[in-house]
Amino acid sequence: MSVTIQYRSQQLPEMEPSSELLRLIDIFEAETQVVIVKRNPDPVIDAYLAVVAHQMGSGFRHVLKAGSTVPHHLLPAHTGQEAFVADLNQLVGIFADLLDCPSVGLRLEVVNRAMCPRFHVDHVGIRLLCTYRGPATEWLEDACADRSKLGPAPPDVADEDSGVILNPAGIHRATPYAIVLLKGSQWQGNEGSGIIHRSPTVPSNTAPRVLLALDALW
């Protein structure tokens, strides 16, 4: 089961009682494997990444203690940097509050191709993804998948030919800036489950793709 929330405000309060973001806690329901909160793109961040994405190499990794902020020096200095850092900090704060974890592992991936092009399940608890530039994450409804076909496959066999997709109508794609919570197979009681998902193909005219991934650390 998936849950999609439309949230239009650019100001995302960190788990305020009146916030629709509180519905992110639906990820803790046993039958829910993915929750998506749609957000409007930020033109300031869009303009910033259009200029600096090609200067960011493959991105970076950083561990943040709950309540700390992303160091500015990790990102190129340019107009819009402050807005981007503020949004990253906001998502880190929301995620840390949600998981009640002391630290968060942050990955900012800058890629020109699909990192994980095959449908798979992450061996994690709950992961947050947010695509800022380029196409966003794709996922496959469980009822439209054959889990026995997950796993290593010959490199020349696409998902569409491997048998993992029983019905292509079950393939969905998140939108840019959406907060995507994915439940993995290591979440308590979720063994043998976990949302089936993959990285999208990155067209040359939208490259590089910029993706945020957050994991809880204890």
The DSSP code for 100 is T
Whole-model pTM: value is: 0.90
| CA-based nearest residue to 80, from 127, 46, 119 | 46
Nearest in space to 120 (alpha carbons), one of 143, 95, 153: 153
**pLDDT, position 1:** 54
* Secondary element (H or E) of residue 132: strand 126-133
What structural domains and CATH numbers belong to the chain? Answer: 2-217 (2.60.120)
| Res 116: pLDDT | 87
Tokens of 57: 């190499």
Mean pLDDT per 10-residue run, the chain (218 residues)? 42 49 90 95 98 97 96 98 97 95 98 90 98 97 96 80 95 97 97 96 92 97
